[in-house]
Amino acid sequence: MKKFSKDFIWGVATASYQIEGAFDKDGRGESIWDRFSKTPGKVLKGHTGDVACDHYHRYKEDIALIKDLGVDSYRFSLAWPRIIPEGSGAVNQKGIDFYKRLIDELLDQGISPAVTVYHWDLPQVLEDKGGWLNRDTAKHLRDFAAVAFEEFNYGVDKWITLNEPWCSAYLGYGSGEQAPGKKDFAANINASHHLLLAHGLALEAYRELNLTEDIGITFNLSHHYPVSDKPEDLDATRIADGLLNRWYLDPVFKGAYPADMTELIKLVEPFVKEGDLDLISKPNDFLGINMYSRNIVKADENGQPQSQPAVHPVTAMGWEIYPESLYDLLVRVDKDYGPIPIYITENGAAFDDRVENGKVHDAKRTDYLERHFAQAARAIEAGIPLKGYYVWSLLDNFEWAFGYERRFGIIYVDFDTQERIMKDSAIWYKQFLQELKK
C-alpha cells in the first residue's frame, strides 16, 4: 500500500445516542430516539440507548483507548437534547459542561476533536411540532449550532453540521425504519429540504462568528453500478444515484436540485423559498463522506431502480464488501463536485464478533479496513484531495433499529459489564498507524 502523507488525519468516530447512555441525567431532554426505541416493535429486541456504552460516565476510559490507538482525531456528535432540552430556548449548562470535559480530556491527550452538530437525536418536543417537516426546525438547529460553535470555540478542529441527512429524511420520514418512524415518501423530500436548509443556516451562523476552523457536511454516499449496459438499467442507475447521491450533493455544491429528478422536484418545490438554495450552497471547507458499500442497479418492469444481490461477500448488515467502489466514488465526487477537500468520516463493518479467551479475532474487519485503506491510497495517488479517514466505530454501540445486535466497533463492548476489549482489528489499526508514523 502507498504510504499516506504524515499530515493525513486518522481517526475513529461515534455518535451521541449510540454511545452516551445517561438518557435522563443532568437535565437531558427526550430525543426522538428515546421515544422510538421505547415504542414496541421498532428496535430489535426492544433495545434502547438508555445506557448504551455508558460513555457519559466512562469518557476518560474511552479517551485513554483512543490515545492508545494512536489516532490523530476523534469524531463525536453533540446530543441536542442534552444541550437544549426543549429543542429551542434555554441552554442546559450541565450538558455544555459534559462536552467541555470531553473536549478538555481529548486536548490533554493530544487528540483533535471533530464535532458533528447533529447525528439524528432530534429533541422530541420539536418532533411534536412536526420535526423536519417543519421549517422552524431548521432555524432551531441553527441556534443550537451557534451555541455549540460559541461554547466549544477552543480546540475543536473540525465541524460537521449534519450527519447523513438522507438517513434522517428517508429512513425517518419515508420508510419509517428509523426515528421518528413516519412512512410517507413525499414527507421525506420535504424533510430533506429542511435538513439542507438547516445546514445552510448553521454554516451562515458559523461564518458570521468569524470562526476559522474547517466546517463541512457529511453525506452517506454509495457508488452505483448498472447490472448491464441495457438502456433501461443505465437509466435506473441514474435514478438511484439521483435519489441517494445527487439529491444531496447537487444543492450543496451546485445550488440546485438535480433537474432530471422531476418527480422529486415537484415534491420539493412547495417548500423551497427564495434564497434557500443560495444559503444551502454556501462554500464548505470540506466534504465528509460515509461509505460502506456499493449498489448494483437493475430496472424493474416500470423502469424504476431495483438493488441487486451482492456479488461478493457481505457484512453482518448484508452490505456487500467491494472496496474498489470507494475509489470509484471518490473519483466521481471529485470530478462532478470538486475540487473540495474530502474526509472519509465513516467507514467500517459489522461482523458477528465473539470473545474467545479474552480476545476478539475479527480478521474479516481487519481485511475490510485494510482493503478500503488501499483504495483510499489509490485515490490519493490519482490526485483526489482526500485528507483524512475515520473508522466507524470506536466502540460496539447502539446500531439504531438493530439495537446492540450489530457490532461495528474495533473495540468490543460487553453490554452487561461495560468491559472494553481491543479487537484484533484495533490492534492492527494501532500497528498500521505506528508504521506510518515511523
Q: CA 284 to CA 341: how far, in whole Å?
A: 9
Q: For the chain, report the end-to-end CA distance as a whole number of angstroms.
A: 15
Q: Does residue 103 contact residue 40 with C-beta atoms inside 8 Å?
A: no
- Tell me the residue number closest to ligand IFM, measured at CB: 15
What Å distances lie between residue 22 and 14, 17, 28, 393, 418, CA to CA? 16, 10, 8, 20, 14
Judging by beta carbons within 10 Å of its beta carbon (0-12, 13-18, 19+), is residue 141 exposed, middle or buried? buried
77 binds ligand IFM (CB under 6 A): no
Q: CA 108 to CA 100: how far, in whole Å?
A: 12
Within residues 269-298, the interface with ligand IFM by CB under 6 A covers 290
- Cβ 257 to ligand IFM shortest distance, Å: 23
15 binds ligand IFM (CB under 6 A): yes
Q: Tell me whether residue 164 is one of the annotated catalytic residues.
A: yes
Backbone angles phi, psi at 138, to 5 degrees: -60, -40
Cβ closer to ligand IFM: 305 or 348? 348
Q: Does residue 49 contact residue 81 with C-beta atoms inside 8 Å?
A: no
164 binds ligand IFM (CB under 6 A): yes
33 binds ligand IFM (CB under 6 A): no
105 binds ligand IFM (CB under 6 A): no
- Cβ 407 to ligand IFM shortest distance, Å: 11
Q: Does residue 159 contact residue 144 with C-beta atoms inside 8 Å?
A: no
Site string for ligand IFM, 392-431 (x = CB under 6 A): x------x--------x-----------------------
SS3 call for 373: helix
Q: Tell me whether residue 346 is one of the annotated catalytic residues.
A: yes
Cβ closer to ligand IFM: 11 or 226? 11
Q: Does residue 163 contact residue 218 with C-beta atoms inside 8 Å?
A: yes
- Cβ 177 to ligand IFM shortest distance, Å: 11
What Å distances lie between residue 403 and 38, 366, 406, CA to CA? 12, 23, 7
How many residues touch ligand IFM under the rule CB under 6 A: the total is: 8
* Residue listed under C-alpha cell 485513554: 64
Out of 164, 204, 381, 435, pick the active-site residue. 164
Site string for ligand IFM, 336-365 (x = CB under 6 A): ----------x-------------------
- Cβ 400 to ligand IFM shortest distance, Å: 6
- Cβ 52 to ligand IFM shortest distance, Å: 12
Cβ closer to ligand IFM: 54 or 164? 164
Binding site for ligand IFM (CB under 6 A): 15, 18, 164, 290, 346, 392, 399, 408
Active site residues: 164, 346
